[in-house]
Structure 1
Amino acid sequence: MFTFKVNGKECQSSRDGRLIDYLRDELRLTAVKEGCSEGTCGTCTVIVDGKKGKACILKLSKLEGKSITTVEGIPEEEMKVYVHCFAEAGAVQCGFCIPGMIISAKVLLDANLYPTREEVKKAIHGNICRCTGYQKIEDAILMAAEYFREKRMIPEGPKHLGLTQRFQRVDVEEKVRGTGEFVDDIILPDMAYAKALRSPYPRARIHRIDITRALAHEDCVAVYTAKDVPNNICGHIVQDWDVLIPEGGITRYIGDAIALAVVNHKENLEEVLSLIQVDAEELPPVTNPIDALKEDAPKVHEGGNLLTKKVCKRGDAEGAIASSKYVVTRHYSVPFTDHAFMEPECAIAFPEGEDGVHLYTAGQSVYDEQHEISSILQLPAEKVVVESKLVGGGFGGKEDMSVQHHAALAAWLSKRPVKVKFSRKESLLVHVKRHAMEMDFTTACDENGYLTGMKAVLYSDTGAYASLGGPVLERACTHAAGPYNYQNVDIVGYGVYTNNIPAGAYRGFGVTQSCFATECNLNLLAEMAGITPWEIRYRNAIRPGQTLPNGQIATKDCALAQTLEAVKEVYDSHPYAGIASCMKNSGVGVGIPDIGRCRLTVENGKVHILTSAACMGQGVGTVTIHIVCEMTGLAPALLVHERPNTERTPDSGTSTASRQTLFTGEATRRASILLGEALEEKGSLQALEGTSYYGEYLGETDPMGSPKPNPVSHIAYGYATQVVILDEAGKVTEVVAAHDVGTVVNVQSCEGQVEGGVVMGLGYALTEDFPMAEGRPTLNYGKLGLFRASQTPPVQAILITSEEVLEEACGAKGVGEISSVPTAPACAHAYYRYDGIERTRLPLENTFYRKAK
């Protein structure tokens, strides 16, 4: 028997085990989150006898007589300060890491109410955040110290709210306190647990699957194989991904699921899986996209290894380059990288109604999940209800099926609730990555540095399945020539199947890759033309009314030149400053129907905002509250933002392509106009009880290859210029990020998106990688190269808008993705100025952060 205290109460356990399981499962203290299971990420941080500890690695047998404190045990008056300061600073995005951050903050402030920023950084060194870039978390802790030592009172929130104001995001309190529900925080009565047996090889023929011994296990509920699946195929866009690999089938990557075991008690999952016998014949894999296109290459799919070819051609690139004064040609290589969102994938499904199923998920679109699961189970869509809980980060990595379809299948077949949860190891093994690409870029200019033409060939490794491989490649191509005023381009991209872990959507969506190449070429051209890298960008910067390389005419809101002007002084004043510019679309674009939807309902004297737009931390709920308040004059206290639910919220599309602020924002604006008119007529919300107001917005665009002289590729673009500054040792000391965001909706959220995106971009540039040896990953979570607070430099976010903005969404444009795009080429340029060495491969080698191999 082990005896210890938790939050002041004596507890006992008759068996040993991990502290995190005892806290979450026995005591239901769910503010303690499981992020990595290896003591690396800090989401499970607790206080043990006044010192920090990681609950995922602490054993109960080591806690005899000790006292443990979780966020739930922090005194209420203290918690009020943390809630206010983290809200006011904008320190909360997805929220999964925040309770662990609060514990680290408490340990620091209990000992020192006058900490420096460096001391705060050191205090949270063991806590990883993928959303905020740490700066606002540091601000929040410093603010809390001030409140505690000065015994300051917490002010009331604003009674009126509009655009471009500071406002505490709608979900901040539940995330700071740890009371908000993530899927894994939920336990349903009679709930079973399921897990998939994965392929032993990247490519293998499965001759036989014997589940006899597994079924004989006393805790086994069922083991399902491909023959149990009504429609054994799924896929976000292309239907090419097996739900379970059948006997006689060939696996395509190491994460392929072969059988699905269901047990009564989760601790028995591994044992039951070990009893499944698989007769598999290992086959040679193909893991290089260039090799995969050879005639004798093993076929990943029956139709061949070419997923797609994309062409973006305009003018006469060949002739323009041939007649140009200066020409640069380089080859660039960029790697797979993992999203490393803090919350590993988890889903719960349970039977509902006659032959239906209800899911709790944490993905990027409840309607996408409903569509794919209804297809797998061969059910009408209305028989599949999908409800989103809090989403602990996504960045594109939660668009595809991972655990949702297996939870739904197991619940539908077993007729009882089933939870499927990935360990961090499974998450790294199974979910999609950022596309690795090999790219050849040629860029030309005249004697004055004006761009004349460019050619590019891109090979994108989409891995074993299509996922978002086609659209990602398309975006890499449509943005490859950069945000500049020239029209002779010839860009060809190949999306190629391999036996690597699949690649899919990732913050930047292909533009991070092609921007790295084109911006590096631009610096070399500037050198040849005898002008500065800032000058070549300013001379060529697209301006309103001019034509982009893809043929689209820049709209009135375009403010790229202003972003360059904003960073000129800082760039000119530092010898080791690197610069890069970019553009990034808001909205899916390229001719694909793209609709935002919002319904406002008046219920019990409050306005409920209903939209399926998923919030993974970017704050779309707060955006809609700002817009409703701006358009109607209602106080924010009268608004309720509901989470996505296919039974109640209208389909507003996937949270991808930096589209929700623009598309759902505009739909919300339109619904708000109707509500405002009704309020003016009736005089009060009480008089409108039971009414609803619907807004819808369709963004119309043209497909790639459109014959129009000036096709509209995307509804809107954001523009940005970033400057990365190194010191004499080659360490990044500051990043200045000037972003054309249109109308700023919420100040803290907009700044936070830029700061967090920059830090993710620094990781892509300097430290992050996801190497695979013949299709097998070789790193764990702790070795992904994720930036920590102690490594992170100050990020100055400069939010810029033009004098004229778009009408849609009150002029707001997405900023979530673009914030990561120009950071890597800016880093490469800074190091080129530092030591004169060209670096054409990411992560950059022979730097302060990574030595040459």
Structure 2
Amino acid sequence: MALTRTTSGERWRIRPDGPDKVTGKLAYLTDMYQEGMLIGRVLRSPHPHAGIVSIRTDKAKRIPGVHAVITHADVPGMNRFGIVNPDQPVLCEDRVRYIGDAIAAVAAETQEIAALALESIEVEYVLLPVVDDPAFAQTKQAPRLHPGGNVLHRNQYGHGEVGKGFAKCKHIVEESYSTPRQMHTYMETEGGLFIPEDGGRLTVYSPTQHGYKDRMQLARILGLPEFNIRVVSSPIGGSFGGKDELNVQPYGALLALVTGKPVKIHNSRYESVRAGLKRHPMKIKMRTGVDENGRIMAHQVHIVADTGAYATLGAEVLNFAIEHVTGPYTYESVEVEGVSVYTNNGVSGEFRGFGGNQAIFALEGQMDRLAEKLGMDPWEFRLANMRKPEDPGPLGQTIVRTDGAMRTWESLARSPIWLRRHDRRTSEPWIRRGTGAAIAMHGSGLGFGIPDPAGGMLALAEDGKIEAIFGYEEFGQGLIATLELMLIEQFGFGAEDVRIVIGDTDLVPHSGSSTASRATSMMWKSLQKLRGPFLDRMLNEASKLLSQPADNLRIGRGGIWDKSGEHLLLTYALLARNISEEIRFQTHFPFPVSPTKRVGAHYLYTYAAVAVEVEVNVLTGRVKVLKQFHAIAAGPVMNPQGFLGQIEGGSGMAVGFALTEDSLMERGAYLTRNLDTYLIPSYADLNGEIEVHAIEELPEDDDHGPRGVGEIGSVCIAPAISEAVFQATGKRVNKLPIDPELLQETPDFLAKAVDGI
């Protein structure tokens, strides 16, 4: 399927939440308001590393209109958070480890009073040496940022003997690659409304990608049972992984319970910049060798990831990067090792691609450099070393067999961009044109050994609506539209028959996180499991009411129809009013994992091949992406608009990763404070042509259905752009974002003109 914006048909219907979003009518969680609510603010450290001598809050508490000032002494439960490794203080006790660490929080009647209260809190610090270099952090001379030292996690993988492999090599490429500290730059910054309820309950309206995980962590912090906390987590104005961990929720929850009043917190952009998660900067050293026939004999990789002050999911991101630095290729020998290191450089965490973007940028850079050494076409070189469908996965694990890698390779080889790659004509002599391509396999789900529950529920509600109930969140990815389309196509319901219930821990089952390109796959699988029992029960109940055999009836738009589909016999509302027992079915199952017992190893993969055409202005060094071609092998497309939107959106984020985005830091302090100095791609940068080819076919014995595409559109763009820049200028890129000064030059005709002046 070639996806375009002009394709018509039922599957290209307007998404249910679309009109309210584009007109501004939709109330996001940070738009919420309640009469009598207080404003919450958090006092954050101005220092990247310091000891806390004292915290004095008396002046702040005496300010009229201030209802609460809290410190670590006011946390009734565990003063730590983190989904996997809870090492981050809710409110710091004796030390701050990054600019943005939380020290105190206030609740006041207005923003102005809250700001005055923060200014009145007196904190005495003793400055400590700043650890801003991951390499230095690993030395004995570096201050220890945590009791266990400065290494969060190490991991390694290998097979064969790389020493012997390199001895057989005709050509060896050794390169070091660096990637930036990218911001998520969601339009809705972190925030929420926190409401104490009768009976000691607390309702949390705050954007998150996993309401149940937030509830679990808040229960530990507040010293409450989980059932006393309700988390409403949708709709969300963007996340991309950045709202997967707790952010403002602990402070809003604590202040609401202390004051007994609703409390609203909403971060400013600067507060989001300094306190929010970023993509892990990585330095990846690779040494890769080939024999005279172009076969890869040895591949050696060392990864250093800067996880910042606290763990978040840094260990898991490193594991994912280690898995993806070998990609869809076979090697005679491999040796991969990596380390995730604590520093005082903010906090790095989960981000769309989850370490794959960094790994694939480096790996595909190696492939292009090796092809050049061999004098081979880079795409043919990849084919010569490509993993076969029956081969094991990147970590030697058993994976679901598909020919996705080959299908995407073939699709790109036939693409117009690739076929015209040798045409580099431009209109101006200072403009250079080039084409580059990259390929990747990207794991779906959390991987082996990590709890990864899935499931959902279908019910006939009292008003006759068919309720699809899932513990997922809508943060712009089109989940509601995709689920609605699946119910229409697979069950025969009309859109008006369906009610989607998501993102509310009081109402939904535990379906697992809305991360790791897993939600669409798990919704599809849940509906497959629920379809038979649910429809059978509906028809059997209708059979009793209509005094007709169930075999003579069928499900359709608006209700129960005769088998021919010519006559509506019973509306869903009438059926709901006349059944003696509720119609409700639930399913629960784990995300499929590899039987190979290696922590983090994936079982399902999505495959992508991407070609880009760029122009480089050698006077300014700026790169413009003109055209993109994406071949995506992700199984059946459930929602064409959503599919295309995910690929386009992911590629836009990746263009920023490649060309402009980096949260610059100096001695642990952000030089970036707002979006005026942090350059995300604008429409002018992203208005080039994008063609997407969806490869939907799966092997006949594959019953896993559609794979997720939330991340795959973002992982190949940077290496493809880097190769296109090389083809245009002859200059290799090993550091992102690409520095314009690297590409600047004085064309001959200008040099002659200058000489003549």
Aligned to 1:719: 607
* Alpha-carbon separation, structure 1, partners of 2:374 and 2:346: 43
Q: 1:736 to 1:700 in 2, by over 3 A?
A: closer
C-alpha displacement of 1:312: 1.9
Is the CA contact (8 Å cut-off) linking 1:393 and 1:617 kept in structure 2? yes
Among 237, 243, 255, the alignment partner of 2:84 is: 237
Matches within 5 A, 1:755-770: 755-770=648-663
C-alpha displacement of 1:653: 1.4
Q: Is 1:351 aligned to 2:196, yes or no?
A: yes
* Alpha-carbon separation, structure 1, partners of 2:703 and 2:444: 12
CA deviations 1:747-796 (Å, max 9, x no partner) are 11101111111111111011111111111111121221100001212221
CA deviations 1:552-574 (Å, max 9, x no partner) are 34533331112121122421312
Aligned to 1:687: 575
Aligned to 1:699: 591
Q: Is 1:596 aligned to 2:489, yes or no?
A: no
Larger RCO, structure (CA 8 Å, separation 6 or more): 2
* Alpha-carbon separation, structure 2, partners of 1:274 and 1:521: 52
Please list every run of 5 or more consecutive structure 1 residues that lacks an aligned counterpart in the other structure.
1-89, 91-134, 144-154, 159-164
RMSD: 2.3
Amino acid at match of 1:431: G
Aligned to 1:27: none
Q: 1:521 to 1:773 in 2, by over 3 A?
A: same
Q: Is 1:255 aligned to 2:100, yes or no?
A: yes
Aligned to 1:615: 474
Is the CA contact (8 Å cut-off) linking 2:196 and 2:256 kept in structure 1? yes
Aligned to 1:798: 693
* Alpha-carbon separation, structure 1, partners of 2:724 and 2:398: 32
Is the CA contact (8 Å cut-off) linking 2:534 and 2:583 kept in structure 1? no
* Alpha-carbon separation, structure 2, partners of 1:649 and 1:326: 57
Residue 467 of structure 1 aligns to a residue in which SS?
coil
Is the CA contact (8 Å cut-off) linking 2:72 and 2:92 kept in structure 1? yes
Q: Is 1:825 aligned to 2:699, yes or no?
A: no
Amino acid at match of 2:191: C
C-alpha displacement of 1:593: 2.5
Q: 1:492 to 1:572 in 2, by over 3 A?
A: same
Aligned to 2:535: 676
* Alpha-carbon separation, structure 2, partners of 1:384 and 1:601: 24
Aligned to 2:430: none
C-alpha displacement of 1:808: 4.6
Is the CA contact (8 Å cut-off) linking 2:174 and 2:285 kept in structure 1? yes
* Alpha-carbon separation, structure 2, partners of 1:751 and 1:307: 37
Q: 1:851 to 1:307 in 2, by over 3 A?
A: farther
Aligned to 2:419: 572
Is the CA contact (8 Å cut-off) linking 1:196 and 1:259 kept in structure 2? yes
Among 699, 702, 709, the alignment partner of 1:815 is: 709
Aligned to 2:465: 606
Matches within 5 A, 1:445-594: 445-486=290-331, 488-569=333-414, 570-575=417-422, 576-594=434-452
* Alpha-carbon separation, structure 2, partners of 1:415 and 1:407: 12
* Alpha-carbon separation, structure 2, partners of 1:480 and 1:467: 22
* Alpha-carbon separation, structure 1, partners of 2:341 and 2:745: 31
* Alpha-carbon separation, structure 1, partners of 2:319 and 2:339: 10
* Alpha-carbon separation, structure 2, partners of 1:324 and 1:812: 40
C-alpha displacement of 1:189: 2.0
C-alpha displacement of 1:475: 0.3
* Alpha-carbon separation, structure 2, partners of 1:712 and 1:776: 33
* Alpha-carbon separation, structure 2, partners of 1:169 and 1:808: 27
Q: 1:769 to 1:245 in 2, by over 3 A?
A: same
Q: 1:407 to 1:850 in 2, by over 3 A?
A: farther
Q: 1:637 to 1:670 in 2, by over 3 A?
A: same
Identity among equivalent positions (%) equals: 32
Q: 1:543 to 1:170 in 2, by over 3 A?
A: farther
Matches within 5 A, 1:216-295: 216-230=62-76, 231-246=78-93, 249-295=94-140
C-alpha displacement of 1:606: 1.2
* Alpha-carbon separation, structure 2, partners of 1:541 and 1:167: 39
Is the CA contact (8 Å cut-off) linking 2:399 and 2:602 kept in structure 1? no
Residue 199 of structure 2 aligns to a residue in which SS?
coil
CA deviations 1:620-653 (Å, max 9, x no partner) are 2222222223332222221111231111101111
Residue 227 of structure 1 aligns to a residue in which SS?
helix
Q: Is 1:212 aligned to 2:58, yes or no?
A: yes
* Alpha-carbon separation, structure 1, partners of 2:377 and 2:726: 13
* Alpha-carbon separation, structure 2, partners of 1:367 and 1:849: 48
Is the CA contact (8 Å cut-off) linking 2:234 and 2:475 kept in structure 1? no
* Alpha-carbon separation, structure 2, partners of 1:619 and 1:261: 36
Is the CA contact (8 Å cut-off) linking 1:594 and 1:653 kept in structure 2? yes
Aligned to 2:731: 837
* Alpha-carbon separation, structure 2, partners of 1:356 and 1:297: 45
C-alpha displacement of 1:405: 1.2
CA deviations 1:122-150 (Å, max 9, x no partner) are xxxxxxxxxxxxx97xx8xxx9xxxxxxx
Aligned to 2:565: none
Q: Is 1:375 aligned to 2:220, yes or no?
A: yes
TM-score (norm 2): 0.87
Residue 176 of structure 1 aligns to a residue in which SS?
helix
Residue 53 of structure 2 aligns to a residue in which SS?
strand
Q: Is 1:753 aligned to 2:646, yes or no?
A: yes
Q: 1:361 to 1:808 in 2, by over 3 A?
A: farther
Q: Which runs of 4+ in 1 moved over 6 A?
A: 847-852
Q: Is 1:434 aligned to 2:279, yes or no?
A: yes
Matches within 5 A, 1:133-148: none
After the TM superposition, which of the residue ranges 208-217 and 311-320 deviates more from structure 2? Answer: 311-320
Is the CA contact (8 Å cut-off) linking 1:488 and 1:549 kept in structure 2? no
* Alpha-carbon separation, structure 1, partners of 2:120 and 2:600: 56
Is the CA contact (8 Å cut-off) linking 1:411 and 1:417 kept in structure 2? yes
Q: 1:286 to 1:237 in 2, by over 3 A?
A: same
Among 13, 22, 29, the alignment partner of 1:176 is: 22
Q: Is 1:365 aligned to 2:259, yes or no?
A: no
Amino acid at match of 1:794: E
Q: 1:593 to 1:778 in 2, by over 3 A?
A: same
Aligned to 1:76: none
C-alpha displacement of 1:238: 0.4
* Alpha-carbon separation, structure 1, partners of 2:496 and 2:701: 29
* Alpha-carbon separation, structure 2, partners of 1:410 and 1:728: 53
* Alpha-carbon separation, structure 2, partners of 1:800 and 1:744: 9
Amino acid at match of 1:237: V
Please list every run of 5 or more consecutive structure 2 residues that lacks an aligned counterpart in the other structure.
423-433, 543-559, 561-571, 618-622, 747-757
Q: 1:554 to 1:226 in 2, by over 3 A?
A: closer
Q: Is 1:631 aligned to 2:490, yes or no?
A: yes
TM-score (norm 1): 0.78
CA deviations 1:266-285 (Å, max 9, x no partner) are 23221111111111111111
C-alpha displacement of 1:587: 0.6
* Alpha-carbon separation, structure 1, partners of 2:135 and 2:383: 37
Amino acid at match of 1:795: I
Amino acid at match of 1:797: V
C-alpha displacement of 1:803: 4.6
Aligned to 2:549: none
After the TM superposition, which of the residue ranges 321-330 and 530-539 deviates more from structure 2? Answer: 321-330
CA deviations 1:228-273 (Å, max 9, x no partner) are 0012111121010000012xx1101001111101101123221111
Is the CA contact (8 Å cut-off) linking 2:400 and 2:603 kept in structure 1? no
Amino acid at match of 1:646: T
Amino acid at match of 2:611: V
Residue 379 of structure 1 aligns to a residue in which SS?
coil
